[in-house]
Structure 1
Amino acid sequence: MMSSPLSRLRLADLLPVATIGLRTRPGRAALSVLGVAIGIAAMVAVLGVTRSSQAEVLARLDRLGTNLLTVASAEPHGGDETRLPDSAGASVARTEGVLAASATAQLNDLAVYRSDLIPTAHRGGLDVRATDPALLATLDADLLHGVFLDESTANYPVVVLGHQAATVLGIATLTGDDRIWLGGRWFVVVGLLDRVELAPEIDRAALVGFGVAASDLGWTGHPSRVYVRTDTTRTAEVAGMLPRSANPQAPSRVTVSRPSDVLSARLAVADATTSLFLGLGAVALLVGGIGIANVMVISVLERRGEVGLRRALGAARRHVAAQFVVESVLLGAVGGGTGVLLGAAVTVALAQNRGWQPIIPPVAAGLGLAAALLVGTVAGLYPALRAARMAPTEALRTA
């Protein structure tokens, strides 16, 4: 008696057999694909948008520099800056590792007005600062219009407006006749600054020279803040020396800060937010995987007759299992591919809207596809094993 030949299923036949359910029930398959696609798209978009944002922050840090320090009193009086010793600016400039230093003084009792008819109670939230001509170079700031203070104009009633101060006063450009009312007299506006991102207090200030501040505005010679540019490799070391340089008698009353730390903190916040949204994306992916498993279980129940007939004609258990696993993997793969494209599109759209350079990490696309395939495989294992365990007679009888 001759034994029957072993059942075989060629790889070329596996794909057409595995896609029968997808082709006969496209609506259900599309919904399963959509569930996986949403999860993958969320993960890719979160990683892409985060990387694009971080790249922008790092580029801004590179442009602005991380070697800018500010020296101020550690004991501010209300919202006003308090005085440093009159020698603080010169002492800080002589500190080893300092490349440039510029002292400024907040003139606390003065306000800025567009007209001398405005009531003095309406201060507008603007400050008056006395400064030296080196401030522009120390901050690496830019002028939008006009000129900055120099050694000669610092002794005359001329003023340079920070970006916010110019906006509040309604001065967008210079005509040559622009004046503001400051300290009971008119000052001619000779320059408008661009935004100084690392020194927002300069943005909202009207800047005058030390000479006119001393002669006409009651300045006593004490600075309240010193801006310092250091050797980049020695920034931390210099920061430790500056309190004693600024106030040798009471260094504990001096605080030194690095404005770029605010931008650096954004990276940490972005990382924390990324973890949160990746978790949400993982939940969405899990829901998509459950959807695939549900579709595959229903597919097995609905196709009992097909399974029983194939088993009766000699199909092995492994062939039936392979059919349903491959179908589930295909659902995951299509969902993963769709999700990667959708996530990339969201990243590009958001980045261009914010003016960032769109960056889509290759690892995000790779991991997204791998996660989708894994979800598809795991989701199809139970339905596939259930289909493979069906006895031919039982499947045909209950079909």
Structure 2
Amino acid sequence: MRLAVRTKTTPAHARTPAGGRTERPWMDPRDLWTEALAGVLARPVRSALTTLGTVLGIATLVITIGVASTAGNQIVGRFDALTATSVTVTVPPAPDGSDTKPLVDWSGTDAVRRLTGVESVAALADSATTNSIQVRSNDVKAPGDVSGQTLAVVAASADLPSGVRGAMAAGRFYDSGDIGRHAQVAVLGDQAARLLGISRVQDSPAVFFQGQSYTVIGILSGIKREQRLSTAVMLPPTTAADRLGLRDVTRVLVNTAMGAAQQVARQAPIALAPGQEKSLTVVAPADLSKARDGVQSDVNGLFLILGLVSLVVGAIGIANVTLVTVMERVGEIGLRRALGASRRQVAGQFLLESTTIGLLGGIVGAALGIAVVVCVAVFKQWTPVLDLGLAFGAPVAGALVGLLAGAYPSLRAARMEPVDALRAPS
């Protein structure tokens, strides 16, 4: 047994103060650390098992917060990709029989397109009477033949594919030339084309409704906004106005850059209907920071308890092993006290041992937690979000757990009297 007790080299007459009390020898902090480390390494298996509780607790905390931050960022990122950049302006219908100018005309989208942060704009017009129209893919009526499919017919501006974030599966979308010529052409949603049995447009198929024929020039698929348009027939605004009476814009779809939705939502009504912007209804996404905080808070609250429970279990394990160590080393404690070690020195040694175990557990747990977070992010193809403060604070938290866990065993060791400790069986 190695005893590192260092005495002060003071003159003989200074070693006994006037009060008659002899000055206690003192232990150098380096020797105290050496003794504590030797005590930890003297029983490596027990120390490793004791450290395991703290490792699991710290690792759970790091994994919980790291995965929550990473997943929250990914969830909000997916939310951003569509909902957080979509603004919808609803235009109220004009009173029946009114000849007043509409609040928003088809050219009004040009003013919105010039706003900062706007990526695409599209306008739509529909009505209750055109939401259910019998549409046929041929004009031949055979006995017993089904009359056709009930589909919605809408008018849309030429930039509708970008407005609904869709793509042409076949053919093309009508352009400004078709609109200017009042061409009787139509574009089908992919579901509508499937219902009508149209899969290609090279042969210029036609659809028939309300006694009129329209040449199908394209099929629109992959619609992410206004998904009901996948079962609709889309006409140029001029054609819809002439044939169906769809003259007034009812909705304006705006796609914005990331973070610009709130600003565009405030400016778009003014650009569409100056002086009457309050008559328009705007649907804008919620604040992204609140969504992100909400996601992370929910995930953190769910798993944080597991980390705390693991830390409590680790602290109990450290306290139990430290107490057992104290009882096993009663003779050593008595000898130290007999050679002049103070109660504070004895308590400090055992406190330092438990703190060292907690510190090692914190370091290993933090490293393990960071590795798990990175592996999960790589497996899911996410961007890992790691807090450096957490990574460096985890070992400190482990040391604090060890310090608190070793408080009672250290006090018990310090209260032992030298004579009683030396008489105890080894």
- Which residues of structure 1 form unaligned runs of 5+? 78-82
The corresponding residue for 2:5 is: none
Residue 296 of structure 1 contacts residue 380 of structure 1 at CA under 8 Å; is this kept in 2? yes
Letter in 1 for 2:360: L
The 3-state SS of whatever aligns with 2:105 is helix
Closer, same or farther: CA 291–65 of 1 in aligned 2, 3 Å: closer
Equivalents in 2 of 1:164, 1:113: separation in Å?
13
The corresponding residue for 1:80 is: none
Equivalents in 1 of 2:49, 2:263: separation in Å?
64
Closer, same or farther: CA 200–239 of 1 in aligned 2, 3 Å: same
Q: CA deviation at 1:274?
A: 1.0
Q: CA deviation at 1:106?
A: 1.3
Letter in 1 for 2:368: T
Sequence identity, in percent?
A: 19
* Alignment deviations for residues 139-194 of structure 1 (CA, whole Å, 9 cap, x no partner): 676434421102454544432234665577676x6362485745256644422335
The corresponding residue for 2:235 is: 208
Equivalents in 2 of 1:379, 1:35: separation in Å?
15
Residue 112 of structure 1 contacts residue 181 of structure 1 at CA under 8 Å; is this kept in 2? no
The corresponding residue for 1:133 is: 158
TM-score of the pair, normalised by structure 2:
0.68
Closer, same or farther: CA 50–211 of 1 in aligned 2, 3 Å: same
Closer, same or farther: CA 84–255 of 1 in aligned 2, 3 Å: farther
The corresponding residue for 1:225 is: 251
Residue 124 of structure 2 contacts residue 250 of structure 2 at CA under 8 Å; is this kept in 1? yes
Residue 213 of structure 1 contacts residue 219 of structure 1 at CA under 8 Å; is this kept in 2? yes
The corresponding residue for 1:143 is: 168
Equivalents in 2 of 1:295, 1:229: separation in Å?
57
Q: CA deviation at 1:46?
A: 0.4
Q: CA deviation at 1:45?
A: 0.7
Letter in 1 for 2:369: G
The 3-state SS of whatever aligns with 1:297 is helix
**In the alignment, which of 318, 321, 324 is matched to residue 302 of structure 1?**
324
Equivalents in 1 of 2:256, 2:163: separation in Å?
10
The corresponding residue for 1:389 is: 414
Residue 335 of structure 2 contacts residue 422 of structure 2 at CA under 8 Å; is this kept in 1? no
Q: Tell me, yes or no, if structure 1 residue 287 matches structure 2 residue 309.
A: yes
Equivalents in 2 of 1:213, 1:303: separation in Å?
89
The 3-state SS of whatever aligns with 2:222 is coil
Equivalents in 1 of 2:171, 2:247: separation in Å?
27
Equivalents in 1 of 2:46, 2:263: separation in Å?
70
Equivalents in 2 of 1:163, 1:243: separation in Å?
31
Letter in 2 for 1:73: V
Q: CA deviation at 1:294?
A: 0.9
Equivalents in 2 of 1:112, 1:374: separation in Å?
75
Residue 157 of structure 1 contacts residue 212 of structure 1 at CA under 8 Å; is this kept in 2? yes
**In the alignment, which of 88, 97, 100 is matched to residue 104 of structure 2?**
88
Residue 328 of structure 1 contacts residue 379 of structure 1 at CA under 8 Å; is this kept in 2? no
Q: CA deviation at 1:96?
A: 8.4
Q: CA deviation at 1:289?
A: 1.9
Equivalents in 1 of 2:100, 2:251: separation in Å?
7
Residue 351 of structure 2 contacts residue 407 of structure 2 at CA under 8 Å; is this kept in 1? no
The corresponding residue for 1:105 is: 125
TM-score of the pair, normalised by structure 1:
0.72
Greater gyration radius: 2
Closer, same or farther: CA 383–33 of 1 in aligned 2, 3 Å: farther
The corresponding residue for 1:338 is: 368
Residue 37 of structure 1 contacts residue 338 of structure 1 at CA under 8 Å; is this kept in 2? yes
1:184-203 alignment, distance < 5 Å: 187-200=214-227, 202-203=229-230
Residue 107 of structure 1 contacts residue 130 of structure 1 at CA under 8 Å; is this kept in 2? no
Q: Tell me, yes or no, if structure 1 residue 312 matches structure 2 residue 342.
A: no
Letter in 2 for 1:131: A
Q: CA deviation at 1:209?
A: 1.6
Closer, same or farther: CA 383–196 of 1 in aligned 2, 3 Å: farther
The 3-state SS of whatever aligns with 2:154 is strand
Closer, same or farther: CA 265–234 of 1 in aligned 2, 3 Å: closer
Q: CA RMSD in A?
A: 4.4
